[in-house]
């Protein structure tokens, strides 16, 4: 991966206009950065827009390296896919079975 600092969003926007956008991660309205992953011919690029730090242009050598970077940015931004845990479902089923073992007496007449 190669990385250079870009001082202006206008420069990043000009590159983005000529590129085929693959994926966008993050949002400058709700967060402090946004990564736009794109491709221009054989160049795989990440345009990093930031309102609190430097802007960057990153160039990746291979498609798998780009895909790994996309997943990493999603994790950093909280967009990573939720991996379902089945333990909770098992615990919930056990809890329901235990609740069925107890009988509730109707004492509403006594109160």
Position with higher pLDDT, 14 vs 85: 14
Q: Poorest-confidence range of 28-32, 39-43, 67-71?
A: 28-32
Does this model's pTM top 0.75?
Answer: no
* Mean pLDDT of the region 37-63: 95
Q: Check residue 2 and give its pLDDT.
A: 93
Is residue 93 in a domain?
Answer: yes
Is residue 52 in a domain?
Answer: yes
Contact of 63 with 13, CB cutoff 8 Å? no
Is residue 106 in a domain?
Answer: no
The string over 80-111, giving b where at least 16 C-beta atoms fall within 10 Å of a residue's C-beta and e elsewhere, is: eeeeeeeeeeeeeeeeeeeeeeeeeeeeeeee
Is residue 108 in a domain?
Answer: no
Separation in Å, CA 80 to CA 7, 25, 33? 29, 10, 16
Q: How many domains does the chain have?
A: 1
Is residue 111 in a domain?
Answer: no
* Mean pLDDT of the region 13-37: 93
Which of these, 77, 9, 1, 74, lies nearest to 47 by C-alpha position? 9
Q: Give the domain extent around 73.
A: 2-99
Is residue 107 in a domain?
Answer: no
């Amino acid at each position: 991966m190669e990385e250079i600092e870009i001082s202006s969003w206008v420069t990043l926007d000009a590159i983005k206009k000529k590129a085929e956008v693959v994926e966008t991660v993050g949002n400058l309205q709700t967060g402090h950065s946004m990564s736009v992953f794109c491709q221009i011919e054989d160049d795989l690029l990440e345009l990093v827009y930031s309102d609190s730090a430097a802007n960057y242009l990153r160039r990746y050598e291979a498609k798998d390296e780009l895909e790994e970077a996309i997943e990493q940015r999603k994790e950093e931004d909280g967009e990573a896919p939720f991996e379902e845990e089945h333990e909770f479902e098992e615990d919930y089923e056990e809890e329901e079975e235990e609740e069925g073992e107890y009988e509730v007496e109707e004492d509403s007449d006594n109160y």
